[in-house]
Structure 1
């Protein structure tokens, strides 16, 4: 019978013999959900920015994984502290600018860091307003949380890159309109049960991200607000009659096209629009409560979240596509 010592040695030899069969193909580490609030006091008027920051570093060596050697590790707690220290020293302007600042800092400070990835969500605070119409007074130091959409960005820079890659985006932009939307003339076969819909409720929750071809002298705040405006403009249209949507696909494409036409610094944009269904309720089953005249116009609908259709597309400039070939 083989001794326990020989068994252990045999197992160890097998591990050593097979270690060259594996490779760490992707790796890194960092600190997630670092929340920071920055206040600017300009006399009686105060301004705020609140970010939630995630940092990730990729080191030149994998010895921390392979040998358990921690000598190159910049602790995740140190990364967290860096967020606060740079916010104190430089302030918070746009998420994109702060992400680029963090990338530059980590690459300059630590020569053994090969790549930095930063993710930032901006919390949607707006200055509280009082009064009516165009003469509404804005409060000097009170704010209200207005989550119309969540702004975020991803900034990545590798050692040797001339500039970082900046991708900005928005999520949770939930919109609804009660008319000027249809869906007709789609495939009619034995699997179809949905009738043509000539006038329907159109509701979706927009997620979009876009990549910049340059980061020099870009007004990231203006660009983000312009993208949101393009989405809302092509969804809703002008205030009286609105704009007709023959499909979610067409509305999505028109919004993306307007973004590329309006913002030359953006090279590519993708967008996802899942359906948020509002189905008609069959009141004909209740003739003693709802008479025929009351059924001429639908006023009550049944919200259904799941299952939901999902429509997405990415639009690139042709010049960008050619440069990648």
Structure 2
């Protein structure tokens, strides 16, 4: 039988890193999960078990910790860029490195040295470096939004299997999964400010757009990010429709004027889309 290896990659996943910056007046806590994925001239390891070009995943894990100590963790973008470039520059066999980081939020309490965990929402960052160019993709996951009015869904095709009634005013909820591609990956860019602006733009557009469909809302949210952050050239969104259904209370001789709902988990609609600036160019490996 004739075969060939079409693709390969490997790395260390779910490296848990907690970094404490012990400032004189207030401590700063950074809680990250880091994924490292490497690819390159390592086919011999698959073909014959020759590991002479394989950087051990344990070494990758240790590099994450060592870099956190040497350079600190100002933000996930800066740490990810350092790591991705290091793996390519230091290992001749590695032609491409991808570092994904999830920032787990903590907020200080009134005490300057204690914190509380912030829900299911996470800041996300993915950096890809191929030795010549770096691509940086930021994002947010788990951002749950809901509006109690200003949303409708009407005018859709009706076929023999359609039972859904048209809604002139409905409750709309979603959990945002957003990723955005930056035009460049400069180490000194204002990543924290850009993230805050992009997140605020998503929330503002969701709230202010009179939604005739979740698709329309998605487009408005993506355009809001592009308007708010000039350094972002492309936005990808996945918006599950978190259905809230009116409860039928007629069996209890009660009306229900859009007051009592049941929140359902499954099944759900999933709306996805990408909006890019005109002339943004080919993302290449940006989404790899």
Is residue 47 of structure 1 aligned with residue 18 of structure 2?
no
Choose the corresponding residue for 1:193, options 150, 163, 171.
Answer: 163
TM-score, normalised relative to structure 1 = 0.83
Question: What is the rounded CA distance, in whole Å, between the counterparts of 2:181 and 2:283 in structure 1?
Answer: 15
SS of 2:163's equivalent in the other structure is coil
Q: Report the more deviating stretch, 107-116 or 30-39.
A: 107-116
User: How many residues of Structure 1 are paired with residues of Structure 2 in the alignment?
Assistant: 283
CA RMSD in angstroms, aligned pairs only: 1.7
8 Å Cα contact 1:218/1:265 also seen in 2: no
8 Å Cα contact 1:126/1:144 also seen in 2: yes
- Report matched runs for 1:160-309 at 5 Å: 161=132, 163-216=133-186, 217-237=188-208, 243-287=209-253, 290=254, 295=255, 297-309=257-269
Question: What is the rounded CA distance, in whole Å, between the counterparts of 1:313 and 1:262 in structure 2?
Answer: 19
SS of 1:70's equivalent in the other structure is coil
Runs of 4+ displaced beyond 4 Å: 321-324
Is residue 320 of structure 1 aligned with residue 280 of structure 2?
yes
Q: Using the TM superposition, give the Cα deviation of residue 297 of structure 1 relative to its aligned residue in structure 2, in angstroms.
A: 2.1
Specify every segment of 5 or more residues in structure 1 that has no aligned partner in the other structure, as ranges.
1-17, 130-138, 238-242
Q: Using the TM superposition, give the Cα deviation of residue 286 of structure 1 relative to its aligned residue in structure 2, in angstroms.
A: 2.2
- Report matched runs for 1:53-64 at 5 Å: 53-64=34-45
| Cα separation, partners in 2 of 1:56 and 1:230, compared to 1, 3 Å | same
- Greater RCO, CA 8 A, separation 6+: 2
Name the larger-Rg structure: 1
Specify every segment of 5 or more residues in structure 2 that has no aligned partner in the other structure, as ranges.
none
